[in-house]
Chain A
């Protein structure tokens, strides 16, 4: 049964300053298998892959690739590619200003006899590749003309065309919708039949069970084990990843559903819209209510929240807060009305990397007070210490730079930043993305606690289960329009149905 091994990594170790990122890790990939690499954030998945593709240099251990004598050390992605190891990363790593054909062939362009680029052959071959994948697109157009999902597929097509023995897919599905994921899986299975070994890194458990043959689990830079998929049911997988039994998340929400009266309306939006992204929508949020925004990626769930907050200015409509009509031109206006927004892109819009934890926590409050009313150092320290303790932020000190913290702790600091402004209304956009399961639970518990204190919360997450656990009401979005609201019988099934919209998505 065991196919031939195409790739082995033995005893790989490497350290980042102060952290043992990989500790004696083994990994084996066989011909024609899809092998999931699982682990929480910081478990060492990316690091292991980067060691393999030559982006990181490992300190000890050996890599063997089938057909190559002796241990292999790659110094660059190009190096790895030459040895038959291709990688597709989470962010599309192509050049938007070049044509699709060029993106497919850059670095290995077909040449004419004179040594110049043979455009004709290149376009012809590119068209053939696209046809193979059932994609009918104009390959002479610039890449930026196409959707993110298509770009992702083109990136994979590029990797596949390089006749690789090993294909690494690092979170390729995070920007794809279900249809596209389906397409990707078909492609993966095709490749599998051709004998390519595929390493699949993902956060989505369902996807692992949909396509993978084998799972390798890492935890804290160490190998937990390698299992055939049949031997590792979901619960066991999670336990292996976390190193403890599943914290019973389902029980964190109390059974009694609160009743909201009309006097308690905090936010009343009518006909708000944003050109190009959000069609006019109405939304009512009560005090102490947790409202979930759901929909597929790109359905406009983040954008809707951003319109309310003023991160993107609304073009039409009115917004009432506590019954008073307000005008929000910039985030600071929203903040002065008691709002806060935890953005989904933590790195780009959340943390101020080179500032300390303390400065990151006080920033929003300081902005609210204005430039000339500087918080005294004593107040700053008190605030910082309060939230470090309350949110159990793991940091060496309050003066540590925030970029040195792990993702989950960074997220907690940003949460602390908003709690410090004592908001009535918080928008949490993907607060649990890319952080470990333990912290995810803490954040969900915190959301419920805040709601109990009377704060209103908008909660956005791509994991429906998470929303089911926290929200009392859900607004469903499709293609930039709010298509429905679910208040009763919040179950996975009803929500899914609403999102899919009765098959009109086809």
Chain B
């Protein structure tokens, strides 16, 4: 009985890791001619999803409290648009803009967190309003698509390559290909490690678990539940802005339609990674694998070349559905055991 219980949570994580491995292996077998087996393919998944990883880390924190944040996709769009317009049309300093974007994230999260924590409004409603607000504000800044090309500093940052000392190979033209990662990956990995340590070793991190486990108890035990929630949403929006900057380094543009459905990817990553929707259980390591699975799916769809891109969002949705059902089944099993 005791052993059983521990497994149900770790089991979800194991399923996730296994799923990733299987999915990747299948890709390797089917698309080996298209270079799927090279290390760079994996690194590209990391590069393309660095922003998502940051966002998923923030999402995990919010979901641990039993909440959710669906404003992230729109917030990323707003960040990108702000960066693009700021650099291209207002000619502002890229560094300053990044700081401003992070600040916007914090303030945005502060308002959402206040509504959820202190006004006790359902997180979904609050962040849904946030979602439409941010998307609308993107249009307020500019309704056209704006590309970033003139700001040398930012372009330089985005093009920075960090080569990996192993896994190099010679391609068909006889050119040596050294695998590399880009700046966003480093940022995202730093975020991942930082959030992991925070969840394990700080009072705030443990409070997130406590609030998600039993809110009333957390209050009774003297934790400031309202403040914890507020901080969680602030953290989510802040990390989302960090992710937005990473995202922008990949797309190098801003548009109203950008990052549509990104909230879905972030939530799916967290859920696939074993974070319970009811809160209290989960870890960013799981979310990391969730992001990898997400990235693998879109890479598979892209590598195929014939499939419509809608397939990848349908696949992610189906996977999310599968894991939600799995969670629900586990929860039911736990109930009957009692």
Contact = CB atoms under 8 A, between A and B. Distances in A.
Interface of A: 76-78, 81, 87, 89, 92-98, 102-103, 106-107, 109, 115-117, 141-142, 144-145, 158, 275-276
A437 B223 CA distance: 38
B281 A93 contact: no
Contacts of B203: 107, 109, 117
B213 interface: yes
Contact of A144 (B5, B200, B207, B223): B5
Given A93-B216, A106-B207, A276-B337, 9 more contacts: A76-B222, A87-B220, A93-B221, A94-B217, A95-B214, A95-B280, A96-B214, A106-B218, A142-B6
21 contacts: A77-B222, A78-B223, A78-B224, A93-B220, A93-B221, A95-B209, A95-B218, A95-B221, A97-B212, A97-B281, A98-B206, A102-B206, A102-B210, A106-B206, A106-B221, A107-B203, A109-B203, A109-B206, A115-B202, A117-B206, A158-B221
Interface residues of B, number: 29
Interface string B301-338: 00000000000000000000000000000000000111
A117 B202 contact: yes
B90 interface: no
A95 B2 contact: no
B213 A95 contact: yes
Given A95-B280, A97-B281, A78 B222 contact: yes
A276 B207 CA distance: 34
A77 B217 CA distance: 11
Most A CB contacts (10 A, CB to CB) among B200, B214, B337 go to B214
Contacts of B150: none
Contacts of A116: 197, 201-202
Contacts of B149: none
Given A93-B216, A93-B217, A94-B221, A106 B210 contact: yes
Interface string B185-218: 0000000000001001111001101101110111
A-side binding surface: helix, strand, loop or mixed? loop
A76 B218 CA distance: 12
B219 interface: yes
Interface of B: 2, 5-6, 197, 200-203, 206-207, 209-210, 212-214, 216-224, 280-281, 336-338
Contact of B223 (A107, A145, A275): A107
A109 B200 CA distance: 12
Given A93-B214, A93-B216, A81 B206 contact: no
A142 B2 CA distance: 10
B219 A98 contact: no
B224 to A, nearest CB: 8
Listed from nearest, the 3 A-B pairs whose CB atoms lie closest are: A78-B222, A95-B213, A116-B201
A96 B212 CA distance: 10
Contacts of A92: 217
B278 to A, nearest CB: 10
B12 to A, nearest CB: 14
A158 B210 CA distance: 15
Contacts of A158: 221
Nearest to B3: A145
Nearest to B276: A97
B211 to A, nearest CB: 9
A51 B269 CA distance: 45
B336 A276 contact: yes
B193 to A, nearest CB: 14
Given A97-B280, A116-B201, A145-B5, A89 B220 contact: yes
A98 B336 contact: no
